[in-house]
Structure 1
Amino acid sequence: MSAHFVVARDGSVTQLAPCNVQTWHAGKSSWRGRSNVNSFAVGIEIANPGPLHKVASGGWSNDRDPDEEVAAGADVERVVTKEHGDAYWLGYTPEQIATVTDLCRALRDAYPTIGFIAPHWEIAPGRKVDTNPRFPLSRLRNSIFGVFAGIDRVAEGDIKDVQRRLKELGYHQVGEIDGIYGKATRGALLAFQADNHVSTTGIIDDATLKALRAAKPRAVSPARLISAEAAVADRPAVRTSVAAGRVVKASLLGSGILGSLSESGVLEKIEGASDIGRRVGAVVADWWPLVQPWWPLALIAAGGLLIWYLRAIRRAEVTAYERGEISP
């Protein structure tokens, strides 16, 4: 086995390699676009037999170690997940969970840059299934990264509720509502705590939850309101909408000029001046009687609608900046 730590069923832990030495527990793997997780992770193996099936003795076994039988009456349950499939799984012991929690906390204290806890099934999906679905992964993550202090039940949905509430209150730096307590969520929470006179710990305790429920949306910075138009001027969506608006206006003007020239007979005079003039005159002569009664209104309506839409895009960018949702 090649990992940094192994946690036995009784909660005892064995270190197999220094944390600054690469091990090979993950194999072919990637995390958030970065491959070879072994090169930047500390590996913890937790003793567990993996997916089980019933055997003749009434106990349980797996295909990898058929002789290692789990006794009948053990804490085995059937769980079905997309990531793990449909199987029976042995639960982790309280001692294992306590040891893993303490170990992760010690590693985070020793290496503050550690920013995530990822099981093998997340970094090598389809190839690995550990930890099994009975491991309290969300609870571990929340415990290590300083979330929900003093609250017993923690689930991914609880984090999402906090993220959603922070965004409602104007703390858009919270990022995606994904149920993960990462740097973005922590930053938004610290800002909220500072604004609402709650201890800035980054911990979602009872006082923070109470403040989240009672808080009103934070005021927009006066600086953002004053400089919003200029601040978003170089954003791609704004630049595109402004350029497109100019093209539409020019097209409307050009069409109006063309119609005026046709009505005044100028095009007929151009016909005699050049081959291009004759071609333009011929085209206009063909379609002009058909569209002459209504084309100005239709063109103006279409152009006006497009200009309104382009201005709405720009206004949306300005509003998002004023609310703090985006930066220049």
Structure 2
Amino acid sequence: MSVDVLKAASFEPDFQGAEVCPSPNFGERRNGCTPDALILHYTGMETGQSAQDWLCASESEVSSHYLVHEDGRIVQMVREADRAWHAGRGTWQGRDDVNSWSIGIEIANAGHPMGLPEFPEAQIEAVLRLGRDICRRHGIPPKRVLAHSDIAPGRKVDPGERFPWKRLAEAGLGHFVATVSVSGGRVLGPEDDGPAVEALQRLLKRYGYNIDVSGVYDEKTQTVVREFQRHFRPLEVSGLADATTCIILRELLYN
């Protein structure tokens, strides 16, 4: 089938109320995979319309199942049954080929290069409606609602520390625990090694992050901790594992 035919091919939206703008950039889910995770991104482009144009252009070789515009308008570009090209290289809980087992939502936001603007109220409300509907229909649990930065730490930082993960979780979308600040205690960071570092790495790996359990606080460990904080402790994105960061990680594992 030609690109032009693919561009013209329409479909009924999986989410009621979504507009349809088909992207040619998709394929079949591999190895019999079905969606069991939801990945949230920001577009990193100046406007939602420029992002939509790019995601629907064959030369971009990228796409997403959905795009949520600044005003809350929802556009579906790839059927949920199909494999959109939204995640790129990434791993979660030891599984790669994230595109085959996930659904991707792009959220129109200029991103870190342009100061990481706040996400408008109408946009967040739309993400909530869409995300909860997707998770309900596919049986996706809160722990499987992930940031692009979770599955690709060091390569991606979206949707960023200003994304309101806590609010989403309180409204039934995603996993989050209240931050209880703890003063004092050991802070793990570069050049540390030993049992405490190994324990931290094991917990991060158990939660899902792609990290080696070496007992050495290397650059990869610092990167993973930073992206964990970007999602779960957004006021302290340092890459240093203080007591509060470790408590949050344990609470997430056991709640």
For the aligned pair, the TM-score class normalised by the smaller chain equals 0.3 to 0.5
Task: Determine which structure has greater relative contact order: mean sequence separation of CA pairs < 8 Å that are 6+ residues apart, divided by chain length.
Answer: 2
Tell me the TM-score normalized by structure 2: 0.45
Larger Rg: 1
Tell me the TM-score normalized by structure 1: 0.35
From the two aligned structures, give the one with the greater helix fraction.
1
